[in-house]
Amino acid sequence: MCGSFFYGLLLHVKSNGASPREHKKGIKDRVSGKDIFWGLSSFIDADAPFPASDFCSDYLKGDLPKSTVFFKIDDDYLIASFDRRVRKQYGNELKRIHDNVVSCLKDSDEARIWLAQALLRIIHDDSSLEGAQFYCREDGTPISRDDLLKQSSVCLEALLLGVWHFLIINRKERDDSIWPDMFEHYFEHETQRPWDVRPGVLNPWTVVTDVYNYDKTGSRNSDTAAESEEHADAEYVEAEIVDEDPRKKEEKSGTTQNISIVNNGSGIAAWNIGELTVNMGDKK
């Protein structure tokens, strides 16, 4: 299992509609692999630029340097920051992967189950993962590989986040000696849709039969799933910043403005910013 494989499985179930990011720009075109890759790379660098046209296909094939401006996999500070957010603010990261990645995938039970069963099959077949721990529980606690493979019901966002976190932290170095052969074996690399998984090469992990979407309210979100058992969802913390990159502080201005708001009791609010005063409202 490596990042390229994980990305390829996501591409196999990508949506045919526009992504939320495109909707905000008024674009109604199809979701592209660049949308999904940007969503993944944003976990490492929230300011990562949108990837270039050929970047995503090169990443899938393994034809990339270790680190680029689109994917700063060698930046130890950013990697450690991602790790801390998963451990301390799991609910926030669940929401991020839902908004930036899962929203770009097909919204159906069939697609969710296929993706979960494919991922768990690879996790089962990869003997190097024996003893591994994944942050694949909605409450933010880790689960062992063996226990994960016993689950009949999983949250898609938690599964994707836990696997992606594991790969970024533990599998930064893809084994390029075997990946080209794996890519040719598993994916339709000679077609116009090289991300499509070849029929019959992935036996689904049928232990899991129920795959649902994360909802920060704690309710299940699935086309056919029954009501879920009560569980303690990870806390969703609004707008909290963990370990802001100190390197970015050097780029900010060193000046400080004193800001105060004054209401004179006549319906006029005055904002005093340094030496500038802005009056808002009309006296009646």
**Does residue 8 have a pLDDT over 70?**
yes
**Can you tell me the distance from the alpha carbon of 36 to that of 195, in angstroms, rounded to the nearest whole number?**
13
Can you give the pLDDT at residue 123? 93
Which residue has better confidence, 247 or 125? 125
Q: Averaging pLDDT over each range in 24-33, 216-225, 228-237, which range is the top one?
A: 24-33
Q: Are 155 and 27 in contact (CB under 8 A)?
A: no
Tokens of 246: 């100190």
Q: pLDDT value at position 21?
A: 66
Backbone φ and ψ of 54, nearest 5°: -90, -5
pLDDT band for position 54 (50/70/90)?
Answer: confident
pLDDT in the model for residue 237: 41
d(CA 128, CA 166): 13
pLDDT of residue 275: 42
Residue 70 has pLDDT above 50, yes or no: yes
How many Cβ atoms sit within 10 Å of the Cβ of residue 207? 15
Q: Are 35 and 19 in contact (CB under 8 A)?
A: yes
Structure confidence at residue 27 as a pLDDT band (50, 70, 90): low
What amino acid is encoded at 267 in this protein?
G
Residue 114: Cβ within 10 Å count: 19
257 vs 68, more confident: 68
pLDDT recorded at residue 284: 42
From the list 88, 167, 84, the residue with the least C-alpha distance to 123 is 167
Name the range with the highest mean pLDDT among 20-34, 52-66, 148-162.
148-162
What is the SS3 string spanning the chain?
A: CCHHHHHHHHHHCECCCCCHHHHHCCCCCCCCHHHHHHHHHCCCCCCCCCCCCCHHHHHHHCCCCCCECCECCCCHHHHHHHHHHHHHCHHHHHHHHHHHCHHHECCCHHHHHHHHHHHHHHHHHCHHHCCCEECCCCCCCCEEHHHHCCCCEEEHHHHHHHHHHHHHHHCCCCCCCCHHHHHHHHECCCCCCCCCECCCCCCCCCCCCEEEECCCCCCCECCCCCCCCCCCCCCCCCCCCCCCCHHHHCCCCCCCCCEEEEECCCCCEEEEECCEEEEECCCC
Does the pLDDT of residue 94 top 90, yes or no?
yes
What pLDDT digit, counting tens, does each position of 268-283 carry? 344 444 444 444 444 4
pLDDT of residue 147: 97
Start-to-end CA span in the chain (Å): 69
Between 143 and 18, the more confident residue is 143
Cα–Cα distance list, 282 to 170, 238, 259, 263 (Å): 61, 35, 21, 12
| pLDDT range class, residue 139, cuts 50, 70, 90 | very high
Instruction: Give the residue, 230 or 16, on which the prediction is more confident.
Output: 16
Q: Check whether 191 has a pLDDT greater than 80.
A: no
Taking residues 2-7, what's their average pLDDT?
86
- According to the model, what pLDDT value does residue 174 have? 58
